[in-house]
């Protein structure tokens, strides 16, 4: 039986609001906050300015019952699945300036924390990618409002590689280091030892009391 072509008009796009409680907590407390979690389902997540008709395969998503979300941050469409780990940071800062500086500083901070739990050799490349061995092993996005900054990174631990080519078109824009590679040749995985539970290890590291002070220091550096 042929599957009909499905377009945006026939498909529900949901808000990506899995960090809404974190954002509200930071707005109320005016203290930096963070969240570490593992997605509970396979989904496609659009960027704030994504054109879904150009970036995703609605027909495949419909056939598989895969939900589509739109996140508040920028960037192109991605696949989220249970083989990923998400790290989100919210800072209570006003204004809309220095976005790339915050991007760079928070990515640098997270890469250092990965190094501390034994995941070494990860680098930042492009505007927002985490890279290991010339392959993308994580992607970040940022949202600014008048009273907070929301930064979130998806780390690829055991991604479902086959789902990227199935659900995503080649992106309309790409970092130079991608060099036109298909998703299956471009996407990689973090060098996580099989004995490490990354979610647990990151929660142990990032929920330390000293981490909030580190985030406050980042705010002081970039606001000054």
Quote the number of domains for the chain: 1
Query: Does position 206 have pLDDT exceeding 90, yes or no?
Result: yes
Task: Give, to the nearest 10 degrees, the angle between helix 99-116 and helix 198-206.
Answer: 110
Q: Would 34 be classed as within a structural domain?
A: yes
**Residue 2 included in any domain:** no
Residue 213 counted as domain residue: yes
Q: How far apart are CA 143 and CA 151, in angstroms?
A: 7
Range of the domain at 162: 8-223
1 occurs within a structural domain: no
The answer on pLDDT for 65 being more than 50 is yes
Q: What is the pLDDT of residue 10?
A: 63
Q: Evaluate if residue 201 carries a pLDDT over 70.
A: yes
In a domain, 81, yes or no: yes
Q: Is residue 190 part of a domain?
A: yes
CATH of the domain at 32: 3.30.930.10
Q: Mean of the pLDDT values across residues 93-118?
A: 92
pLDDT by residue (tens digit) across 211-220?
Answer: 999 999 999 9
**pTM (predicted TM-score):** 0.92
Residue 3 included in any domain: no
What are the tens digits of pLDDT across the range 2-12? 445 555 566 78
Instruction: Flag whether pLDDT at 164 surpasses 50.
Output: yes
Do the domain assignments include residue 179? yes
Query: What pLDDT, in 10s, does the model give residues 139-150?
Result: 999 999 999 999
């Amino acid at each position: 039986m042929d599957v009909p072509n499905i377009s945006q008009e026939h498909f529900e796009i949901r808000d990506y609001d899995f960090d809404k409680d974190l954002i509200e907590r930071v707005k109320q407390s005016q203290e930096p906050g963070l969240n570490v979690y593992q997605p509970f389902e396979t989904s496609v997540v659009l960027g704030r300015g994504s054109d879904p008709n150009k970036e995703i395969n609605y027909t495949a998503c419909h056939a598989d019952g895969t939900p589509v979300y739109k996140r508040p941050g920028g960037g192109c469409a991605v696949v989220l699945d249970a083989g990923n780990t998400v790290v989100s940071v919210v800072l209570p800062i006003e204004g809309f300036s220095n976005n790339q500086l915050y991007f760079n500083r928070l990515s640098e901070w997270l890469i250092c924390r990965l190094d501390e739990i034994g995941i070494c050799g990860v680098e930042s490349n492009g505007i927002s990618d985490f890279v290991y061995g010339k392959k993308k092993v994580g992607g970040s996005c940022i949202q600014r409002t008048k009273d907070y900054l929301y930064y979130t990174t998806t780390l690829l631990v055991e991604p479902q590689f086959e789902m990227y080519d199935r659900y995503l078109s080649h992106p309309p824009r790409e970092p130079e280091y991608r060099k036109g590679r298909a998703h299956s040749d471009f996407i990689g995985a973090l060098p996580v030892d099989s004995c490490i539970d990354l979610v647990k290890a990151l929660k142990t590291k990032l929920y330390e009391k000293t981490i909030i002070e580190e985030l406050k220091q980042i705010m002081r550096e970039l606001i000054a």
